[in-house]
Amino acid sequence: MDLALKAALGAAMVVLLAMLAKTKNYYIAGLVPLFPTFALIAHYIVGKGRSVEDLKTTIVFGMWSVIPYFVYLVALYVMVDRMRLEASLAVATVAWLIAATILVSIWMRLHT
């Protein structure tokens, strides 16, 4: 049941994105992915299964995780004029992966 609820939330977000993309306010679709759907789930799971300190550490790491998302957006913004959409998305995703890897590596060095 728990897994079904998570899947339903994800599906609802995809439907909402598709609906928003077709409106005159299509740009709001860029805000929807930032709704903390998965953060709520992650914080609930960590908060129920671990200490408050562990939850606070997860929250702080989440704050820093905005950096890879920002890198993704910058890369996509720059690439979308230079490549097909699919290639731009792929490059931006690789940029996110690199930034996320760097973030995790630095975090592990500082917090282990």
pLDDT of residue 30: 85
Confidence of residue 1 (pLDDT cuts 50, 70, 90): low
CA-nearest of 76, 2, 4 to 33 is 76
Task: Give the C-alpha separation, 61 to 104, whole Å.
Answer: 9
pLDDT of residue 22: 92
CA-nearest of 13, 6, 11, 14 to 45 is 6
pLDDT of residue 5: 83
Write the pLDDT tens digit of every residue in 13-35: 889 889 989 999 898 888 887 87
Kindly report the average pLDDT of the chain as a whole number: 92
Res 50 pLDDT > 90: yes
68 in Cβ contact with 46 (< 8 Å): no
